[in-house]
Structure 1
Amino acid sequence: MQLSRRFLPPMSLLCAFEASARHQSFTAAAAELHLTQSAVSRQIRALEDRLGIDLFVRERQTVRLSPAGQAYAQEIRGALMRISNATLGLRTNPQGGSLNLAILPTFGTRWLAPRLPQFFSAHPGITINLTTRLSQFDFQLEAVDAGIHFGLPHWPGAELAFLMSETVVPACSPAMWAQHQFAQPQDLLRAPLLHLASRPDAWHRWFEHQGQPTNEVPGMLFDQFATAAQAATAGVGVALLPSFLIAQELASGELVRALPQLPEMESAERYYLAWPTSRSAYPPLQAFRAWIQASASSFMEQHVQGPATDAPSSP
């Protein structure tokens, strides 16, 4: 679609508007842009004249965005961020493309990052820029091409590609296991249970899965897997964690399965790659989507195995 220049205000006016909208102040915007307050005020008025709409409500010595200004500010901020990221990507990788990818912290650091050299080897011209997001976001307001999603296959305004499932296991330090000698699910209630903010009902579902539902699940709340895993390693409590994300700790003995005789529970949620429909044909995204789906499929084939049956050794 050809762009109409009559709908493209000068960049100087848009930058002045974005800064003023963010600060809710012409004076603060002027300081950021190294302009005078009167210069910023003139630029905002010039933009309003072009649009035929008041973007700010002026009250005595203060300004605030009008309803129309609030909506316009969101769109303009996202557009300017995309221009900035595109420019940065071109400067850092002039021979290829760049992919702005939102990742879940632990999945990104423990599963994705160690495999990225394989992707770069196959696609040397593509740069991946990583940013952390713990929950869904609006692709229209973020300068992100795709994101890793854990949950149900639903993300408003986005397309999804399945990556992998997961199983979770109660894990604790060897010392905590030796202290409590857990033998059945209800025994875990004698120890603090570590909860994840993103999965507040995970322990309830686990106890229901074991045929022993309970309303009392005392413990501590964590916002990330890595912190919960570290707390479990330190002996703070028992954490319900994806087994593939704590494989290193289980292999080294820093963590042990609290009830190794029980099968791991498969989570109802899954991992997906999500992206806005407008980016579906973007070549770096197409290359990354094909690679990560193949990598995830290979990983699942290699790591499908039965539950451990040996109890941890007492120290």
Structure 2
Amino acid sequence: MRAFEAAARLGSFTAAAESLNVTQGAVSRQIKELEGVIGRPLFRRSGPRLFLTEQGRAFADQLAEIFADLQQAFWNVQGYEETATVTISTLPSVATRWLAARLSEFDRDFPDVDLKVLASRDLADFRTGSIDGAIRFGQGNWPEVEAEYIGGETVCPVCTPGFVAEHNLNYPEDLLQVRLFHSDMEEGWQGWFHHASVVPPPSLRGPQLGDDAATMQAVLNGQGVALGRTLLVADDLADGKLVQPFPVSLPISFGYWFVTEKPSRDDPHLMAVRSWLIERIRNTLEGEIG
């Protein structure tokens, strides 16, 4: 049962074997024996991926609670106080450009919670059981999850003060003469120029680095101008490291959402962390830095 619970939680026989310090074959054999005793399959495979059956999911959920109670009982008899771990998945850019700067504040507000951040551009997969919640950037139309809207986003040109002076950026059309960093957002430079009443050429050249954090680091190094998302550039604008050469912001179709599995778990630690993150993100989007 311990082998099955680990495989269900981690979504892999190999990962379960590593966590239990046994071989992958041992985990596979133990689960096969367990399925023989129960008389029905607990997992199904689809190509290389491993999924729990309906009965397997129900069994895994009950076992997870039982093992957690056993662990807590062990800690209690030793006199340890429980420290909760809340695992949040988010984009690398949000983790690097926004969340990292607020970890001291988080530790102050949640002294008994260890925050674990999984930074990935892939959508959080709650079926693995390794993620408690996620901050997603999109339109909120994801299946099989509960998504709470946090706030909308806008983009505006950002660069260093030195870049403005070096390239004499006095009017929006001056941006057509400098390096422009591009992103994979639907609303890009073409949309911004039209929003600023400038008719751009049909094709705008410039690099696309594939990650907003990398793009903003290049901009901070004085390499060009990018359309910065409010959440990702607010701190640097407040510190004066970046400036908006022109106060023209373009609303975009994507926003921020806090996502949990469906149905959402009634976990007090997760609920408290969710409220904290939502409040801080909204404050940043509304111009309150900190």
Normalising by structure 2, we get a TM-score of: 0.71
Structure 1 stretch 178-187 or stretch 269-278: which is displaced more? 178-187
Displacement of 1:232 in angstroms is 1.4
Structure 1: runs of 5 or more not aligned: 1-9, 24-28, 57-64, 305-315
Q: How do 1:1-315 and structure 2 match up within 5 A? A: 10-12=1-3, 34=22, 43=30, 46-47=33-34, 49-50=36-37, 70-72=50-52, 94-141=81-128, 143-197=130-184, 199=185, 201-211=187-197, 212=199, 214-251=201-238, 253-257=240-244, 259-260=245-246, 262-300=247-285, 303=288
Distance 1:183 1:267 in 2: 25
Q: 1:281 to 1:47 in 2, by over 3 A?
A: closer
Name the stretch that deviates more: 137-146 or 168-177: 168-177
> Cα RMSD between the aligned structures?
4.4
Gaps of 5+ in 2: none
Percent identity reads 29
Contact 1:149 1:274 in 2 (8 A): yes
Counterpart amino acid of residue 196 in structure 2: Q
Alpha carbons of structure 1 residues 214 and 201: separation in structure 2 relative to 1, 3 Å: farther
Q: Which amino acid aligns with 2:113?
A: I
Structure 2 CA distance for partners of 1:241 and 1:300, relative to 1, 3 Å: closer
Residue aligning to 1:59: none
Alpha-carbon shift at residue 239 of structure 1 (Å): 1.0
Shift of 1:240: 0.9
Structure with greater contact order relative to length (CA < 8 Å, sep ≥ 6): 2
SS in 1 for 2:112: coil
Aligned 8 A contact 2:230 2:285 in 1: no
Q: Per-residue CA shift, 1:167-199, capped at 9, x if unaligned?
A: 3221223444334323444432322211234x2
Number of aligned residues: 273
Change (3 A) 1:71 1:180: same
- Displacement after TM superposition at 1:11 (Å): 3.0
